Chain A
Amino acid sequence: MIKGYAGRVLEVDLQERSFAFEPLDEEIARLYIGGKGYGTRLLYDRTEAGIDPLGPANPLIFATGPLNGSVAPQSNRFAVVCKSPLTGGIGNATCGGSFAFGLKKAGIDVLVVTGSSEQPLRLEVDGDADEVRFLDASELWGKGTYETQRILGKGREHAVIGPAGENLVLYAGIVSNERIAGRTGVGAVMGSKRLKAVSVTGSRKLEMEDPDRFREYTKTVRATFKDHPVLGESMKRFGTAAIVNTTNGRNILPTRNFQKGHFDDAMKISGEWMEDHALKGVKTSCLHCPVTCGRDVEVEGKGRGKGPEYETLALLGSNLEIGDLDTVSEWNYHADDLGMDTISLGATLGFAMELGEKGMLESKLSFGDASGVTDLIHDIAHRRGLGNELANGTKRMAEKFGGAGFAPQVKGLELSAYDPRGSYAQGVEYATTNRGGCHVQGASMYLESVGPLTINPQNLKLKADLPIVQQNLACAINSMVLCIFTTYGIVPKLVHEMDPSSRPYRALAFLLENSGPLFRWAQSIKGSPMLWFEKWLTLITGIKFSSGHLQEIGARIFNLERMYNLREGLSAEHDTLPDRILHESTFEHLDSGHPLGELLPLYYKKRGWDSKGVPTARTLKRLQVEV
């Protein structure tokens, strides 16, 4: 077995209440690494087209990669893969916390859960005894994710769902500690199986090719992270909320259901405000991560809880015109405890507010008004009254009530908090990302509109190349499995220290913007490992990984996901953006919105797809994607 892998796949059948430890497929591991890549390969191979995402035939796949269990910073993440009940296409999400570490300690690379149970169940996996216990979870059913984990206790690592997952809210997530695999409704799939929790334990050691050099090198990386302006400073001080004022200043902070990109009260929901007014000095992290981007906040009269992240602050804050950190923190707490994705939740609430405003939906909801929202969040999780409609997300709501043009979704997945009208490459990424309108499957906006070195986000230069490189890289990162925030460290400290109005800075930005295909070519060179995650992979597995290798593997995974989506009926017509984003301008110097029509054909061509967005036989052969 390749080093870095435990070498085992645990197969659990809930219907039969049976389990088996099977050997990991080395060939798949070599081609797809692990995590999201390995999970996608299994999903594609094992399922028939058209299965019901909430039926027993949809496998729920928890997958780790060779970095998990290694104590490398940002490496305690697992991927969940299944067919998405929200989009009908590929479903996946990654999650921090400690569950990934637990799985590897139990000697498990991948856990595949199939079938479904009549009664609420929970699984206890003992990797040392090679045992899986199927336990009644009736007592836990209905409980929140925090209480559930408290009851399950210490000594095991847990992945659990809350009432949202139990009640099949289409954007329910799976929670480990305070972290959530939030997107695409993976929690609803777990709920459909009546599986409340998986707890793992074990004491196995991860075998590495060169453990001494790995240890030494990791020390260096930790020191570099500590000194890095993003990983060692801004994310530590402000978490992801550091970015609120930046997106607001760039007019891309979703406001009033994406009607605007600027919110006058943004400062009051910013990371800086949180640090000054609500932070209780406790920063939290996923296991072994020195970045500690999580935080504890105090909500007046309500106690302490997890501080909201950027996406939550934007979608539940500015998007609803709520400029009050306490209110957003409270909603964030409820959403996490009920086990649902705050991006889809906030976008759906914003959509419902606009529907109400236009007289298309009967409700008391309105922008800027927090009253009744806390109750509604609970109603969504329990599918009561109006909550039952909102539990289906914006696409299905638009089908029932109208308003498709301003439903903020792609392929059924609600858009994240970077308005693409001021970030064109991000828009291409939203339109083409296989799981739908998500930002962390590439994060082009970092090099385009918010990071330390950015290009002009509103012309066509690099806007088809950048998403491809970023999507490929994200596919590889999510297969190791590493936190995508690690990519923020790629821009060195030196660049952060440059004055954006200086000549050298402008020259660098000009070069990047005009690099076009050269940019992609440079990434595709199969040389020596340069970046920390390339070196970690190499030191752990003994297989050489460089940027070129990762781009190739990432492209392989991305194309396989694409083939899965095509098989499930998602095609080029779904590679789009909401009409509002395409046709309504939020910038006074522009008459229209995002120029997707000009960029998409270029993107397809550069991907090696035909004009209908189908990967050509040549592309699939070159990437060794078997379908």
Chain B
Amino acid sequence: MPVRIELTYDMGKLLGTQQVEVEAGSVAEAIAAARARFGEGGGDFDQLAKRTAIAVNGVLARHRERLATKLSEGDTVSFVKAAAGG
């Protein structure tokens, strides 16, 4: 089913877009589909995805079923970096 993926800024810069639509039924499938956009073998994806968490509609996948978390049509899967602000 179609879901939206929000990339990190650096991922988006490389791909020329910050958001991609992919077909995926789970978080694992969504990550694989995003990775495929970076070329064969994932290109720089693995490096850029390092130390990012995955959120589905704002909830971290690790607080749900992790990679097996099921997705519904229209869900937003975000790559989230840890950060500090004020």
Contact = CB atoms under 8 A, between A and B. Distances in A.
Interface of A: 230, 234-235, 240-252, 261-262, 267, 270, 272-273, 276, 293, 309-311, 422, 439-440, 446, 450-454, 456, 458, 484-485, 488, 496-501, 506, 509, 586-589
B62 A501 contact: yes
B85 A262 contact: no
22 contacts: A230-B83, A234-B84, A240-B86, A241-B85, A245-B8, A245-B9, A245-B83, A246-B85, A250-B55, A250-B58, A261-B58, A262-B58, A273-B9, A451-B83, A454-B60, A456-B60, A458-B63, A500-B52, A501-B53, A506-B62, A586-B58, A587-B59
Nearest to A242: B83
B18 A242 contact: no
A267 B58 contact: no
A246 B18 CA distance: 14
Contacts of B58: 249-252, 261-262, 422, 586-587
Given A501-B66, A587-B58, A450 B12 contact: no
Going nearest first, the 4 A-B pairs with the smallest beta carbon separation are A251-B58, A243-B85, A249-B80, A249-B78
A267 B9 contact: yes
A458 B51 CA distance: 22
Given A245-B8, A501-B62, A450 B86 contact: no
B37 interface: no
Given A267-B12, A501-B66, A587-B57, A451 B82 contact: yes
A66 to B, nearest CB: 23
A499 B66 CA distance: 14
Chain B, interface SS category: mixed
A246 B62 contact: no
Contact of A270 (B9, B59, B60, B86): B9
B84 A242 contact: yes
Contacts of A252: 58
Given A251-B57, A450-B83, A500-B53, 9 more contacts: A241-B85, A243-B85, A250-B55, A310-B85, A422-B58, A450-B84, A456-B63, A501-B53, A501-B54
Contacts of A309: 85-86
Nearest to A501: B62
A293 B86 CA distance: 10
Given A262-B58, A497-B51, A245 B81 contact: yes
Contact of A499 (B8, B10, B51, B84): B51
A422 B51 CA distance: 21
Nearest to B18: A267
Interface in B29-52: 50-52
Contacts of B85: 240-244, 246-247, 309-311, 450
A249 B82 contact: no
A588 B10 CA distance: 28
Nearest to B80: A249
A262 B57 CA distance: 9
A289 B76 CA distance: 39
Given A246-B83, A309-B86, A458 B59 contact: yes
A222 to B, nearest CB: 19
Interface of B: 6, 8-10, 12-13, 18, 50-55, 57-60, 62-63, 66, 76, 78-86
Which of A242, A458, A501 has most chain B Cβ within 10 Å? A501
Contacts of A497: 51
Contacts of A496: 51, 82
B86 A485 contact: yes
A432 B72 CA distance: 37
Nearest to A419: B58
Contact of B51 (A244, A250, A262, A498): A498
B48 to A, nearest CB: 13
A108 B29 CA distance: 63
Nearest to A443: B86
Contacts of A242: 83-85
Given A249-B6, A249-B78, A272-B9, A499 B59 contact: no
A234 B83 contact: yes
A458 B84 CA distance: 20
B26 to A, nearest CB: 14
Which of A245, A252, A439, A499 has most chain B Cβ within 10 Å? A245
Contacts of A272: 9-10
A589 B79 CA distance: 20
B51 A249 contact: no
Contacts of B57: 251, 587-588
Nearest to A590: B59
Nearest to A267: B18
A450 B60 CA distance: 11
Nearest to B85: A243
B84 A249 contact: no
A252 B83 CA distance: 14
Contacts of A587: 57-59
B30 to A, nearest CB: 14
A506 to B, nearest CB: 6
B82 A450 contact: yes
Contact of A235 (B13, B54, B66, B84): B84
Contacts of B83: 230, 234, 242-243, 245-246, 450-451
Nearest to B75: A588
